[in-house]
């Protein structure tokens, strides 16, 4: 298992531009920003990369955590690490929200695999879910992808933009061939981890700069729909 922890400096946050969550507008401090890279063929096969970050107010940093499987035997292990991460975030860090982009896909995959491998964890017992894509569509009345939304927010990605299908093909090879990870160029592993890291870090930047770039039509409000 590849385990990576990283700190990302956050210069400043304007609380006036944060996406509102009902009457509580500063949920970024109580949230996990979450994204998976996975392989699905008819049914979910594995989580290839688990990525999440949270904002630490005392240091003004994002704390990024990533797990990446190296072979088929770690399909179960990454799920156990994911459960431990969520429990620790809730009990020790007092996180109450999970922020995603099109999160239904990731939740469908990880919940299916939790159930398949007998891991008892229910997100709605610990967190409320906020989907950035759904919030955008609710306010702007049209669909959008994450990369297009990043452009609206003037976010320039570091590293290469990868396709989900190519990442899925990579993890198909990883779980079929135990030796594949050793033949994989280190640069490719680095690109996949960087891509996933950018997904969760950019979610944070979009969330805290929401009203700077998203103008709400008259009659609307800045109160997002929270999923229990």
Q: Give tens-digit pLDDT for 172-199.
A: 999 999 999 999 999 999 999 999 999 9
Q: Comparing 22-36, 54-68, 76-90, 191-205, which segment has the lowest mean pLDDT?
A: 22-36
pLDDT tens track for 189-227: 999 999 999 999 999 999 999 999 987 653 344 444 455
Name which of 202, 226, 24 is nearest 123 in CA terms.
226
Judge contact between 10 and 180, C-beta under 8 A: no
**Residue for token digits 């779980």?**
175
CA 43 from chain centre, in angstroms, equals: 21
Q: What is the dihedral of CA 95, 138, 203, 125, to 10 degrees?
A: 20
Report pLDDT digits (tens) over 11-41. Answer: 889 888 988 765 555 578 999 999 999 999 9
In contact, 112 and 47? CB cutoff 8 Å: no
Domain 2-213 class in CATH = alpha beta
Q: Does the CA dihedral 12-192-67-124 come out positive or negative?
A: positive
What is the residue-averaged pLDDT of the chain?
90
pTM greater than 0.85: yes
pLDDT at 216: 63
**pLDDT > 70? residue 116:** yes
User: Rounded to the nearest 10 degrees, how much is the dihedral formed by the CA atoms of 121, 126, 132, 133?
Assistant: 40
In this predicted structure, what is the pLDDT of residue 108? Answer: 96
What are the phi and psi torsion angles at 14 (to 5°)?
Answer: -95, 110
């Amino acid at each position: 298992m590849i385990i990576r922890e990283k700190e990302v400096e956050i210069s400043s946050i304007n609380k006036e531009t944060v996406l509102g969550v009902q009457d509580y507008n500063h949920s970024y401090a109580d949230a996990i920003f979450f994204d998976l890279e996975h392989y699905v063929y008819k049914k979910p096969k594995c989580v290839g990369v688990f990525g999440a970050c949270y904002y630490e107010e005392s240091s003004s940093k994002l704390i990024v955590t990533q797990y990446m499987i190296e072979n088929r035997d770690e399909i179960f292990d990454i799920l156990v690490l994911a459960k431990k991460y969520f429990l620790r975030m809730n009990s020790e860090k007092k996180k109450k929200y999970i922020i995603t982009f099109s999160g239904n896909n990731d939740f469908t995959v990880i919940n299916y695999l939790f159930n398949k491998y007998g891991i008892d964890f229910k997100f709605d017992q610990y967190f409320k879910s906020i989907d950035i894509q759904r919030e955008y569509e609710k306010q702007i009345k049209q669909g959008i992808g994450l990369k297009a939304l990043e452009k609206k927010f003037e976010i320039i990605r570091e590293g290469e933009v990868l396709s989900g299908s190519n990442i899925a093909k990579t993890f198909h090879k990883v779980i079929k061939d135990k030796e594949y990870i050793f033949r994989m160029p280190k640069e490719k592993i680095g690109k996949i981890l960087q891509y996933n890291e950018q997904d969760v870090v950019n979610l944070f930047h979009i969330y805290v700069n929401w009203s700077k770039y998203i103008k709400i039509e008259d009659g609307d409000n800045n109160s997002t729909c929270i999923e229990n």
